[in-house]
Structure 1
């Protein structure tokens, strides 16, 4: 781009040189004027100048040197004037010189202006050309940018269109998938409804069939000739039919709620078959009674004279047969008791000798076949269990019912502390899982540090703080058995591992935990409370472990499920191994399980406790049975045989039994005896897991 400052002409001069000459000229003129200012007092240059006839002045003018730097050679020659020139000639020469200088100056100025103008025009043309070039470049660049932007916009629009198309296709696929899933769900629901309806229809047919069998049994009793004998014979069958009817009604309750399953239908079918068998047995017995009655009637008609003698002989024979039968039964029971008494644990195993089945303490002596001796043994068994129950109850009352503890629980000042303690206990307990050993160790360390006062929440800041936390933890663990373990039995092993470690660290916590176990479910001792005089039904059922909601006792099925979870957690603690490096005695060893089984078997079964005993025995054997079989391989098979041959028939023949627990117990006993093995519980932790 051309510069507007440095513009040169052909002669090498520029405007700066011209302006410098004018400056020198002005300075020279001013110097001369200052020298002659004293002698000249009028105008001497221009048309208004006054020429005075003063020779001295003229001579001074002529003698003054001309210092003007004039480049024109003709001008230099014309300035040489002889001294003899006249005044007019001098005047003419000065004027002419000045005029020529002025003319020359003007010409130079005009040329410089023209040249400057030409340079400016040239610069302007160059600038215009450059501007035009720049405009073209900018236009080209703008066109390229616009084209690129347009291409970018088109690409983005295309991309958005593709994404929109993909999204549309995806939504269509999702819609089709949802429609397909909805269709499948509707078909599945329709199929489930159809199956459920078929189940209900089949169940109602089975139920009606059982009702018909019950009516047929009643009709048989009405048409019998010997009504007294028939009614006496039908007593056990009537109780059995009543039990079957109750089981059918329980299944019918599930059918009304829409919860009927194939297992329920199968169970109802088995119940109906039992009803058929009872009907057939009743018919056979009634036919036998009828035949016997007719035979006896004929004999009485033909032998009226010998009737009294025949009656006496028959009574004597029946009495002798009964005595022989009792002696045989007593001898068999004595032999079984004796076999169990002489059992000793295997060498090398922990010293947890099992209790005798017929006697809970060695000092009670050998078991006899006398019925009075058996009753005494049962009383001593119940007495010991009752003592354990009372001791646990008193210990819990001393800890939680004291004046200081009640004030601590009711104080407003400790409300926030109690809330923090509850949170610090509930969170670890509710998140216990058998993911790995590190997870269990983390939960155990949190609870141990809390109970020992080494956590950020210092429980020792209040005197009742440690007891409050231990009691709260024990109650929470028992609650886990009622809720979590009752629905997911495998969860018991993680809870039991942490619980056992804490029981070894804090013996008072171990006692509190056992007290809460026994208070919530006294059958763990076992203890079967009797109703006291003046005791209300709610108080009695609460002591039995039932819960009341709005004044209504919980249903039996829910109660059995809940105490089954408690028993499984309790039994899981028994079979859980102590942590590596722990040397303290096991707070609940295998001897506890053996003693419980022995005490329960010796307890005389009552109708209201029959299904409870069957449920808890099954839970105990499923969890602890494998460990007992391993520790006592000779005793366990005999224990199972005693359960199947003597205890199970008592439970089965007891009135008011729900049937489900009894059937499951029978199947377990048969499978264990046939296989000569009890499998380990599902979910049991391996040794040294953590």
Structure 2
């Protein structure tokens, strides 16, 4: 039964794409039926979370894990993929609140920076343990390539940004967003109040703002521009100065902080004529 439940929860997620809103509604419907206890066909057999006392919890974990995995492995290199993933996630989160909490747990276990938590190695830790708490993968005793690590972190930062800025699904009635813009604003304020880490801080900050900047500009207006002006005038110079936390950053990524301000300015102009890209996916 475990195999059938795993298959029934994984296949729809693997099929998520930005083909059309109707395509996403079909996928969301399949997962909603599974999580609601309705029997679904997996392969040649019918299966239901009601068939086992722990069936629902298992599938909730499985769906949350797979959604995060999609952002981790696909979104980092295919940025547009984040929008349909977020649309499905928010729709399911509305219908099954426990899924959202588990998804956040899986996200933070792989990308603690969205907590935000910026782990620091402690004295006596092995090199492998020190890298693992930072979110790096190990294979055959070797730490993953820095670019691959940052690509994964970028994908998950984009996932979180797309979730908090996604429009409330029409099917939710009058319910509020399950994890909306205020959470993104709090995250942004906390990140800018913490000492940054070379490479990873500008990566997640830029990735987050590139996706959510449009919606945040609409929601917070002058507050956001004041924050970005402070970022440009104080935050960046302070940490790129001699002795600052980012002096060891690779030259190509040191410009990410400068690009943050530019990206948000562009987003502000684009939303006037384009609007949020998620809107067409939930109609």
Q: Which residue of 1 aligns with 2:188?
A: 597
Q: In 2 relative to 1, CA 626–531 (structure 1 residues): closer, same or farther, beyond 3 Å?
A: same
- Residue 602 of structure 1 deviates from its aligned partner by 0.9
1:658 to 250, 253, 266: 250
Q: Is 1:469 the equivalent of 2:59?
A: yes
Q: By how many angstroms is 1:555 displaced? A: 1.6
2:239 and 2:213 map into 1 onto residues whose CA distance is 20
How far did residue 670 of structure 1 move? 4.1
Distance 1:576 1:522, change over 3 A: same
**Residues paired across the two proteins, number:** 270
- SS in structure 2 of the partner of residue 546 of structure 1: coil
Offset of 1:668 from its aligned partner? 3.8
1:78-477 equivalences under 5 Å are: 417-456=1-40, 457-477=47-67
Say which structure is richer in helix: 1
3-state SS of 1:630 partner: helix
- Structure 2: state its 5+ residue gaps: 41-46
- Residue aligning to 1:586: 177
C-alpha distance in structure 1 between counterparts of 2:216 and 2:81, whole Å? 22
2:82 counterpart (485, 492, 497): 492
Shift of 1:434: 2.1
Deviations for 1:433-474, whole angstroms, at most 9, x for unmatched residues? 222222111101110111111023111111111111110111
Rounded Cα–Cα distance in structure 2 between residues aligned with 1:676 and 1:482: 24
- Distance in 2 (CA, whole Å) between partners of 1:672 and 1:502 is 29
Aligned to 1:642: 230
- Let me know the Cα RMSD of the aligned residues: 2.0
Provide the secondary structure at the position in 2 that maps to 1:677: helix
**TM-aligned CA distance change 1:557 to 1:651, over 3 Å:** farther
Higher relative contact order (CA 8 A, sep 6+): 2
Alpha-carbon distance in 2 for matches of 1:547, 1:676: 33
Query: How much does 1:569 deviate?
Result: 1.1
Q: Which has the larger radius of gyration?
A: 1
Are 1:490 and 1:683, in contact at CA under 8 Å, matched by a contact in 2? no
Deviations 1:188-209 (A, max 9, x none): xxxxxxxxxxxxxxxxxxxxxx
Query: TM-score if structure 1 supplies the norm length?
Result: 0.38
How has the CA–CA distance of structure 1 residues 529 and 460 changed in structure 2, closer, same or farther, with 3 Å as cutoff?
Answer: same
Is the Cα–Cα contact under 8 Å of residues 571 and 624 in structure 1 kept in the other structure? yes
Q: Counterparts of 1:461 and 1:617 in 2: how far apart (Å)? A: 44
Tell me the residue number matched to 1:559.
149
Partner of 2:73 in structure 1? 483
Cα displacement string for residues 8-33 of structure 1 (whole angstroms, at most 9, x for unaligned residues): xxxxxxxxxxxxxxxxxxxxxxxxxx
State the Cα distance separating 1:688 from its structure 2 match. Answer: 7.2
1:312-335 CA-to-partner distances (Å, cap 9, x unmatched) read xxxxxxxxxxxxxxxxxxxxxxxx
Alpha-carbon offset, residue 488 of structure 1: 0.9
TM-aligned CA distance change 1:684 to 1:426, over 3 Å: same
Gaps of 5+ in 1: 1-416
Distance 1:510 1:537, change over 3 A: same
What per-residue deviation string (whole Å, max 9, x for no partner) do you get for residues 259-304 of structure 1?
xxxxxxxxxxxxxxxxxxxxxxxxxxxxxxxxxxxxxxxxxxxxxx
- Residues 676 and 585 of structure 1: is their aligned pair in 2 closer, same or farther, counting only changes over 3 Å? closer
- For residues 581 and 473 of structure 1, do their structure 2 counterparts lie closer, same or farther at Cα, with a shift above 3 Å needed? closer
Distance 2:267 2:112 in 1: 32
